Amino acid sequence: MSQPFCDPTTKNKKGRGTALIVDDELSNRIILKSLLKKNGYEVIQAIDGSDAVSKFSEHGADLVFLDIMMPVMGGYEAASKIKEITADHFVPIIFLTAMTDEDALARCIEVGGDDFLTKPLNHTLLRAKILAMERIRDLHRDLYQLYGRMQRDEEIAEQVFSNAVLADNVAFEHIRSLSRPADIFSGDILLTCFSPSNDLNILLGDFTGHGLAAALGALPVSEVFRSMSMKGFPPAQILSTINEKLSNMLPTGMFLATQYVSIDHELEHITVCNCGMPDLLILDGSNNNIIKQRISSSSLPLGIDSNLTFQDKMEVCIIKPGDHILLATDGVSEARNTHGELFGQARIDEIVKTQSNSSFVLDTITKQLEEFCGNAPQDDDITAAEIPCISLLFPEKELPKALSEVPHTSEPDHSSNLGDNIDFNLTLNHGRLRKANPVPLLISCIQETVGLDKHRATLFTLLTELYVNALDHGVLGLSSKLKDTSDGFTHYLQEQERLLAILDEGSITIGLKIEPNATGGKITICVEDSGNGFDFRQKRGNALDTALCGRGLMLLEELCESLEYHDPGNKVVAVYSWVN
């Protein structure tokens, strides 16, 4: 075990430091001591290598002069032991020798020496060597201090990064992931968050480069992603906001390639956008995880062009329970082995193709990636994730009890913001209907005015159903009968996207009247569209013949205290009540 190193700079504050002279001849030590004192050094003397190691451990030194040929322990062995004691600290060792043999002089450097002087000593050369070693020593000390400070900063940054970026991820107990940073920090990010409707949003991003500089961009991305996801904004708007923020923040040449997935909580479809990333794979869970769909990049990465729009870049894919979604950064396909060969996308496809069961493909990819790369240096961050489309991904969503089932309290809860009623209207014309979803804005208004955190998800579902019905069946004239066939849902979504793209007329007006009271309150929601309406008088008797048939209408009737349609069927008034 090496002895602790004593840093002499903490003891000797005068002159230029402390020098250790190691020589078995007294005359040599006296001459060198005199020269060193003239140059401002305090001097410690040792008579052989063993004595030198002992005194260096006890007193330390800023500079060591070491003879080669000595009894007990020679200079070569002593140099090795002194370097072992100093560890990360740099203490120059100058060998003193009368030998001129080139092999012997080379040996001085091999065992840890930093320079050598031949005897008899030349005063001018000695002084020059001292000055050179001092400069190198001081540079090492500055570098060591900077490295220590950098380590402390990285530890703090890593804690902030973990708490702010990774800690709030959801559903990770059911998601298989692979993360191998090429540096302390990864430029890759994997984020998950639930929307108010219980859909699962997933963002896999890959910043240019790796390390701390690349990881810094993860903080604003995670903040925008989670904030907008929890407010219910659609994927296209979330990506647009992240893109605009990064475009204003990132330096030229730095950007974020992204795979974005939103999984419908009923496991019927996913909404996907691939911005400058490798192919995203949807695997058929009922057929040995074969690739049922491949989503290639359709957009520039985020942070390059602030004017990018993503509505026309989103793809809606039909899924079934048991399907898997495989995401990966280019660090996986571009991983190299010791011969410089790439792992490659074709190898990933082959692993998926030969998977013999419906287990996680990523486990096999990870194993084969380890075997392929071996001890080859890692050039880029490696991140991948496999998400199974199963109901366990989503938390159980409790619908509120009917108003009559909720016990009333004799003491009012004053946490609600009592006072005047709140009444406002919002109208969206055809241009806004193509681009914006007003539901998150309406939810924010309700939250700002009366709170209702416990009712946020229910109100989001209610407003979304009312708005989507008005848009799809009222303004666009879509019929739910399109969904009746096996591929009907895909056709329905494609027709919805087509009609929105060419929409040049139409409007939806949403009115909210919020009436809080001492024990709760009610919200009256009026939604009117510019469509032709429908025969609402027949909606209960012949629900299957109407455009508003299906689970949406039944859900609205279950959530609301009352639900009324007005002539000609393009206006609906819903009342939602709550108690504290």
pTM: predicted TM-score of the whole model, two decimal places:
0.71
Percentage of the chain modeled with pLDDT above 90: 47
Tokens of 205: 């991003």
Average model confidence (pLDDT) for the chain? 85
Backbone angles phi, psi at 250, to 5 degrees: -80, 145
Euclidean distance between CA atoms 112 and 50, whole angstroms: 16
- pLDDT value of residue 507: 94
Burial class (CB in 10 A: 0-12, 13-18, 19+), 91: buried
Going residue by residue through the chain, which has 580 residues, state the pLDDT in tens, using 9 for 90 and above. Answer: 444 455 555 444 446 789 999 998 998 899 899 989 988 899 999 999 999 999 999 998 999 999 888 888 988 999 989 988 887 788 899 988 877 777 777 888 888 888 888 888 888 888 898 899 888 888 888 888 888 888 887 777 777 777 778 888 999 999 999 999 888 778 899 999 999 889 999 999 999 877 777 777 888 999 999 999 998 999 999 999 999 999 999 888 899 999 999 999 999 999 999 999 999 999 998 877 789 999 999 999 999 999 998 988 999 999 999 999 999 999 999 999 999 999 999 999 999 988 866 679 999 999 999 999 999 999 899 999 999 999 999 987 655 444 444 444 444 444 444 457 888 899 999 888 887 889 988 888 888 778 788 888 889 989 999 999 999 999 999 888 877 776 777 788 888 888 988 999 999 999 999 998 888 889 999 999 999 988 777 655 444 444 444 567 788 888 899 999 999 989 999 999 988 7
Say which residue the tokens 């996308």 belong to. Answer: 345
- With residue 223 as reference, give the H or E element that holds it: helix 218-231
DSSP 367-406: HHHHHHHTTPPP-S-EEEEEEE--GGGS---PPPPPGGGS
Between CA 22 and CA 75 the distance in angstroms is 8
- pLDDT tens-digit readout, 45-58: 999 999 999 999 99
Q: How do residues 435-481 score in pLDDT, each as one tens digit?
A: 788 998 888 888 877 878 888 888 998 999 999 999 999 999 988 88
Q: Which amino acid is at 55?
A: K
Q: Where are the alpha helices (DSSP H) in 87-176?
A: 102-110, 123-161
Domains and CATH numbers, the chain: 8-144 (3.40.50.2300), 168-393 (3.60.40.10), 403-579 (3.30.565.10)
Backbone angles phi, psi at 483, to 5 degrees: -85, 0
DSSP state of 538: G
Q: What is the pLDDT of residue 165?
A: 82
